[in-house]
Structure 1
Amino acid sequence: MDLWWYERTNQPVKPVILFLGDSITASGHYIRYTEAWLRQHRPTMEMKLVPCGVPSETVSGLSEAAHPFPRPCVHDRLRNALDTVSPGIVAACYGMNDGIYHPYSEGRFAAYQEGVFRLVERIRGAGAKVVLMTPPPFDPPSMYAGLLPESAPDFSYLTPFQEYDRVLEQYSAWLLSAGDVADQIIDLRSPLLDHTKEHRALDPAYRSGDGIHPNRAGHWVMARTLLKEMFGAAPGVIPDVDAISKSLAEETD
């Protein structure tokens, strides 16, 4: 194994990674891409990746009034997930839903921070390492829903604050500056922003997804980032998304 924590400490870690998150993780694309590359290029690693995202979920326990049901909170299912999977590492990606698509507020930000600290404490209490990933950016030009100004009376995932990405920027910046709050913190936001900027320079109408959820190309950017940061893969040896998609298709034929 050549994972970062093994190199630093020479302490074996159970080769099971549990992925927690909202609908972006529930879709599972970036996890499947990562696993497909590992099977092809690190066949002796024997690392098992377990997707366990839940749509609409938060780490903060918050929910907007217009949501059709109270948003689920990871803390309500965490014990069961840890007991069932018994991971050596837990990778968690939260934040997109935690600002509940409203303008920034200290109260919501504090709830997010408290939820992250509690998540880390409970995972470490179960004997697992913790990897935190910044939330992907919110991309207004890709939204199909109506965007609202800060003066609007209320907001939701259907009618988000038009500058909601500023909220996610603050959440991501806090995570990246949080030091040893986790065993590793991975910046997914920056490579996704760079990807969208690059494609939009070629095609101003480019959609990175639906504004909230990255498209398949975005998920590949996330997978490449994980491969580089978690598994030490050099960018030059990671093939493009078409090669990985083809290998996944061949496995299901």
Structure 2
Amino acid sequence: MVMLSWYDTCHSQTFKINNDIKRIVFLGNSITYQGKYIEYIEAYFITHYPDKQFEFINVGLPSETVSGLSEPNHAQGAFPRPDLHERLHRVLSKTKPDMVFSCYGMNDGIYLPFDELRFQKFKEGIHWLHREVIKSGSKIVHITPPIFDERKGKAYANVLDLYSDWLISKRYTDNWNVIDLHWPMRKELESQRLINTDFVLAQDGIHPNNYGHFIMACNILWELDEHLSSASYGFENFLSEYSNRDNILNLVHKKHVLMKDAWLTDIGHKRPRMTIGLPLNEALKQKDSINKAIKLLID
């Protein structure tokens, strides 16, 4: 059992998802498209607030940046990185979110050492995203990027440290809602490696494993002022008060796999090699059936 070394960390900013929030959209890159952290968050909310009709929509797109940058030979030259600027207006008009969670940064420095011009493009992209979401009438919560394992490259790990610190600073300079995942994940990685030098949160240094996604979910929930005392003892105890926990998690996963591809296909994007989702109307019908099955497990 893995203990969470960052559980007692003081979270300096908390805010609630108000009763007027119904539709919650997650934007990001392949880490968000993986989406396990979103599944854990949804599983928490549907078990703890069964009478509230939250809808969690994952429209993360692998390889995407908010900076608009791409390596010259990205994907062995097969395609440039998709740019959020190309699709954001469609995301907002089609999903009509009440709240947007945005997690960018991992790809935005394009895996090169720190450069002021690349950093400026990231900042400009984040400012643009913030303005566009607010203009649409939605709230926005920015999430710092997960860590890049320095064993895969100290220079790029430092880039994400800097990008994360800048995002955190927006809490104080602009009163933004910002959730920090970066530093708690780094603290957890460093603490666990004191016990086991082979410990990893991401095998490739980028994409978190299930435990990494669990850390992400818990930090987001804590920042949303949710109290997860049992989670401090590891994933084994997450939602352990529900005898059908594993079945609930499996159904939530099934729903997210179905819906993320349906939404991405319906919205449209320029990223090749993606799964073509079901027509949205058909996917929504299947989602309703899954939701009914989940409700039976909770009631």
* Contact 2:15–2:223, Cα closer than 8 Å, also in 1: no
1:211-250 deviation line (CA, Å, top 9, x unaligned): 01111101000000111112x1113144742445724136
Q: Determine helix, strand or coil for the equivalent of 1:64.
A: coil
The residue correspondences of 1:119-138 to structure 2 (distance < 5 A) are 119-138=129-148
Q: Which has the larger displacement, 235-244 or 78-87?
A: 235-244
Q: Determine helix, strand or coil for the equivalent of 1:18.
A: strand
C-alpha deviation, 1:3, in angstroms: 5.5
The normalised TM-score by structure 2 is: 0.71
* Contact 1:57–1:72, Cα closer than 8 Å, also in 2: yes
* Contact 1:20–1:51, Cα closer than 8 Å, also in 2: yes
Amino acid paired to 2:52: M
Which residue of structure 2 aligns with residue 32 of structure 1? 39
C-alpha deviation, 1:40, in angstroms: 1.3
Amino acid paired to 2:81: R
* Contact 2:114–2:155, Cα closer than 8 Å, also in 1: no
Q: Measure, in 2, the Cα distance between the counterparts of 1:4 and 1:38.
A: 12
Amino acid paired to 2:16: W
Q: Please state if 1:4 is matched with 2:11.
A: no
Q: Which has the larger displacement, 129-138 or 177-186?
A: 177-186
* Contact 1:131–1:182, Cα closer than 8 Å, also in 2: no
* Contact 1:130–1:182, Cα closer than 8 Å, also in 2: no
Which residue of structure 1 aligns with residue 192 of structure 2? 199
Amino acid paired to 2:156: Y
1:141-186 deviation line (CA, Å, top 9, x unaligned): 3x4xxxxxxxxxxxxxxxxx54211111111110101136464100
Q: 1:163 to 1:120 in 2, by over 3 A?
A: same
* Contact 1:132–1:182, Cα closer than 8 Å, also in 2: no
Q: Please state if 1:80 is matched with 2:90.
A: yes
The structure with more helix, counted as a fraction of residues = 2
Which residue of structure 2 aligns with residue 111 of structure 1? 121
1:54-108 deviation line (CA, Å, top 9, x unaligned): 0000000000112031100111111111111100001000000000011111100
Q: Determine helix, strand or coil for the equivalent of 2:193.
A: helix
The residue correspondences of 1:68-217 to structure 2 (distance < 5 A) are 68=75, 69-141=79-151, 143=152, 162-179=154-171, 181=174, 183-209=176-202, 210-217=204-211
Amino acid paired to 1:56: S
Q: Measure, in 1, the Cα distance between the counterparts of 2:83 and 2:213.
A: 23
Q: Measure, in 2, the Cα distance between the counterparts of 1:90 and 1:59.
A: 15
Q: Measure, in 2, the Cα distance between the counterparts of 1:3 and 1:182.
A: 12
Amino acid paired to 1:208: L
Q: Measure, in 1, the Cα distance between the counterparts of 2:52 and 2:215.
A: 22
Q: Measure, in 2, the Cα distance between the counterparts of 1:250 and 1:171.
A: 35
C-alpha deviation, 1:28, in angstroms: 0.7
The normalised TM-score by structure 1 is: 0.83
Amino acid paired to 1:24: I
Task: Give the count of matched residue pairs.
Answer: 228
C-alpha deviation, 1:193, in angstroms: 1.0
Q: Determine helix, strand or coil for the equivalent of 2:74.
A: coil
Which residue of structure 1 aligns with residue 216 of structure 2? 222
Q: Measure, in 2, the Cα distance between the counterparts of 1:47 and 1:163.
A: 40
Q: Measure, in 1, the Cα distance between the counterparts of 2:251 and 2:142.
A: 32
RMSD value over aligned CA atoms?
Answer: 2.2
Amino acid paired to 1:186: I
Q: Which stretches in structure 2 are left out of the alignment for 5+ residues?
A: 1-13, 240-244, 255-292, 294-299
Which residue of structure 1 aligns with residue 249 of structure 2? 248
* Contact 2:170–2:176, Cα closer than 8 Å, also in 1: no
